[in-house]
Structure formats: C-alpha cells, structure tokens
Chain A
Amino acid sequence: MKKSTKERLKQNAPAVPILVYLILLVGIPLLLVVLLSFFSRDSLGNIVFELSFDNYKKMLDPVYLRVFFNSFILAILTGLISLIIGYPVAYFTAGLNRKSRSFLILLIMLPFWISSLLRTYGWTILLGKDGLINNALIFLRIIDKPLNLMYNFGTVLTGTVYMLIPYMIISIYNSVDKLDRSLLEASYDLGGSKLKTFFKITLPLTMPGIARGYTLVFIPALGLYYISDLLGGGNTMFLGNLINNMATRGRNKPLASAFAIGMILLVLLVLFIYSKVSKNSKESLL
C-alpha cells in the first residue's frame, strides 16, 4: 500500500529533532573541518580565509608522510598481534563450560571499565628503567644493567595492543560461539585431523568475527595519542600526536584539519574494505 506524501510527512516528523541534533553536532563540525583544511593561518594563529591546497601539499612532505606511515603500520600491527594473541583466547574460552566461560568473558570485558590512563601507566611501572621487569631481571642476574624498554615503537605497540585486544577477543568469541559444533564432529568422523578441521572449517567460519575485530582494533589504534605520548615519549610521531600538537600548542588548526581529514579517509577506506569482506555476513560492526 502506497502512502500519501502527507502520511509520510506525519510518520517522519518525529525524526526532525534527532536530525537537527545530529546535523548540529556531527554534520556541521565535520563540514567545518573539511572547510578549514583548505584555509591557512597567519603567524598569530588566526585563520586566513583563502582557499588553497597548501595543507594537502604539505601532507605529501616526506616528514609528514612518515607520520602517516608510522600510524598505518602501528594500526596494522596492532590488529595483527591482537589477532594472533586474541584468537586462541577466544577459541579456548568458547570451549569451556558455561560457568567458567561467563567468568572469563567478564575478565575480558572488565578492562573496558578501567581507566585507560591507568592501564597505560601500568606499563611504565613494568617497563621503566627501574621498573618491575628490569628489577626482576637484575635480581635474577640475567642482566646487570637495566634494559631500555621504554620510549620506542615497540612500547607504543605493546600499549596499543593491550588497550584494544578485548575488542578483538569479544568479536572472535561471538563468532566461535555461534559455530555449529556438529560440523567439526562431522569433519572428525570423516577422518579430518584437528589442524585440517581448524583451517578448513573453524577459521573460515569465524572470518566475520576476525574482520570485525580487526576493524574495531585498527580504527582507534590510529588516534590514541595518549598511549604514544606516555609510552613512546614522542620518539616516534603518530597521526594522533601530530593532530593534537598542531591543534593545541602549534595553533595551526587548518593543517590539523587536513590531517584529520586524511585520518578520516583512512578510516573510511578500512570500513569500505570491511564492508566488501563481510558483505555475505549479516553481522554489523557493533
């Protein structure tokens, strides 16, 4: 039955306040970022309203391309390491009995509720020059001088994986949990080995969970600048730090905007790939 225009208007009228809210707080601010990225600023930090591609040209400078590269590699590796460490956790957890399963899920989710600064800061206590790990190694006479474990790319990677791995585990767990176990039994009955069954059945069937987990880990890994600040000590520059520095201390919002647009485009690219990979599954990202 086709509805008349009037009926449709009446049906959709309640949505107006929501759309106004969203346009005001999401639409306009993002549009401003796009606009500002084509402007520049004077020596006082005031914005000069003259359209140009200068900011985008600056982004192609090798120094800045390097920052994009660093962030990209950090996000790729964060996803990869979370997957390698997290998959067995999800897989093993799903195979446990009901009671231990829900207890472990609680333990995996709990960090979401714990302050992310605290969780990052914990690593400085562990990895610092006079941190727990160095102390333990010296005490055990494995080393006699403290190792340099802080302020490098690896430290930032450790912190970022630590922060985001619960998303990966939960995503994969949901997929493993939905897996039809009779398929595995059928494979065993037909003489399939454990390894073969895993790679031929379990892994392909849990692919949607892996893709979702990877996306959920990759995106925030691009922008969590407090982790690279606290654990990286500014030795490696990442997109989040760069945007934050330029927007606050650097007082160059137009250039910061251009980089934010670059970052958003990277996110959209990942989402596009995700939608292509998971187009057969009905699972949404959340």
Chain B
Amino acid sequence: MNTKGSKFRTFYLSLFFVILYVPVLSVVLYSFNKSSSTAQWTGFTFDWYLQLFNDRVIFESFKISMVVAIITSTVSAIIGTASAVISSYVSKKVESAINGVMFLPLIIPEVALGLSLLIFFTELNLTFGVPTLVIGHSLFCVPYIYFMVQLRLQEIDSSIIEAAKDLGASSWQIVKTIILPLVIPSTLTGSLLAFAMSLDDVIISTYMAGPTGTTLPVHIFSMMRTGVTPKVNALSTLFLLGTFLLIGLNQTIGRKGEKFYEEN
C-alpha cells in the first residue's frame, strides 16, 4: 500500500479506537475526582471507593449477582454441552428442530423474552428471586454454549470416532473418552462468557428479580437514573477490573485448550 493510503489507515484506526475507549476511560477517570460533578477536576481521591464498601444495598445486590452468575454459568455449561453432544447423535430432523428453538432466545429482543418469563412465572405463582434469575439468565446463556460446543463438535475428525467404534467402544465410552475432552475448552470459554453476560444483564434481571433484592446492574441502573454520584463510577471501575481478570482467565484457558487439541 502506498504511504498516503497507509497513513490514512493508521489515522482512521487510531481515531476509531480512541472513540471506542474514551467513554470507558472517562468513567474510570472520574471515579477518582473529588468533586461529585464532572464540571471540574478538583483533585484525586479514593473516597467514592470507601463509600462504596459501606453501602449495604450495593453489597447485597453484588452478592446476589455473584451467586446468580456462578449458578447460571455452571448450569448452562452442563445443559448447553449435553444438548450439543446429544444433538449430534439424534436424527437430522430433530437436530434442526433443537437448533431452531435454541436460536430463538438469541434473536428475540430481551424485553420480549423477559416479559414472556414474567407472565409465565406469575401464572405459576413462583416467588421471584435467585432461582427465577438463574432460569432467566440460562435462557440466553445455554444457547451460546450450545452453539459454541456444536461448532467444536463439527471440527472433530470423524475417523477417530469410526476407529473407536470399530475397536468396540460403546457410545458412552466414545463420549467420555473422546468427545468430552475435546469439547471441554469450548464449554469453559462458553461458561465464562455466560458468567460475564449474567453479571452484566439488566433487562431480564429487571423482570426476574424478587421484591427482597435485585442484581447489581439493576441497582446501578436505578442509581444512574436518579442522582448520579461518582460512586457509580467507582463501582463500574471495580467491575471493569473484575472483567479483565475474567478475560485473562479466558485467554489462559483458550491457549491451554489449543495446546490440548494439538497434542491429541
């Protein structure tokens, strides 16, 4: 490429990535501002973080969020992986039926999904709380893991499975010793994604939360709508740090998984 073109390319990409990250960075920056308004930078402080740790409501909703995210990612990993493995065994017709329904929660806007579960659970007279939150979040987490694992399954060399069959392995032995070890990395990546999505969800959580407590994002959302203090910034910054830890974890798992795949 000529230099003029490559200069424009560098300029365009730099501008884009600056704009992509400026909103995020400004939230972080103002979490350390003494003044509660963004009008002026009045000095550096950790006060907002200290206030955060003394806020009981935030702590309680954080606890709910973590519990929901941990259960959701575990349950979704099991259901999603099992469904994907099973769907590779059943007839093509049944498989495409499962694919079709799994696809629905991913394409229907969350407001409509949340509303549908709200109506269903109200009719069933269920108490809203952690269990309904887990069910609501699994609704969109299971399909993600399902499709990720399915993608991995398609990559598996079918001659390995043929060979195992010829040597007299049962279906269960094949699943246990060949298929599961090969798809586990996808399951783990998927459940980390599910964990992050569950922790971040606002819309479905709004519908699924109980009267006694809600998740952190729903609480943050109501904080943002009413009076905003840099406490929100501090909270978001801590969340961001947590996210980066997760991504680091994900990269490590991904690399280990690749190695495993290459070795086998």
Write the residues of chain A forming the contact surface with B, with a CB cutoff of 8 angstroms: 8, 11-12, 14-15, 18-19, 21-23, 25-30, 32-33, 36, 85, 88-89, 92-93, 95, 104, 107-108, 110-111, 113-119, 121-126, 128, 130-132, 135, 162, 219-220, 222-226, 229-230, 239-240, 243-244, 247-248, 253, 256-257, 260, 263-264, 267, 271, 285-286
Contact = CB atoms under 8 A, between A and B. Distances in A.
Interface string B130-166: 0000010011000000010000000000000000000
Given A12-B91, A223-B110, A95 B116 contact: no
**Centre residue among B94, B97, B196 by max chain A CB count within 10 A:** B94
A92 B12 contact: yes
B111 A89 contact: no
B109 A223 contact: yes
A108 B21 CA distance: 10
A151 to B, nearest CB: 13
A118 B223 CA distance: 12
A230 B27 CA distance: 15
Q: How large is the interface on B (under 10, 10 to 19, 20 to 34, 35 or more residues)?
A: 35 or more
Contacts of A248: 206
A208 to B, nearest CB: 18
B116 A14 contact: no
B94 A113 contact: no
Interface string B170-202: 000000000000000000000000001001101
**Centre residue among B37, B86, B106, B119 by max chain A CB count within 10 A:** B119
B90 A11 contact: yes
12 contacts: A19-B98, A29-B120, A92-B9, A116-B200, A135-B38, A219-B109, A222-B109, A223-B110, A225-B111, A230-B221, A248-B206, A263-B111
Nearest to B41: A135
Interface SS, A side:
helix
Contact of B39 (A27, A104, A130): A130
Contacts of B82: 18
Contacts of A162: 20, 23
B50 interface: no
Interface in B211-264: 217, 220-221, 224-225, 228, 232-233, 236, 239-240, 243, 246-247
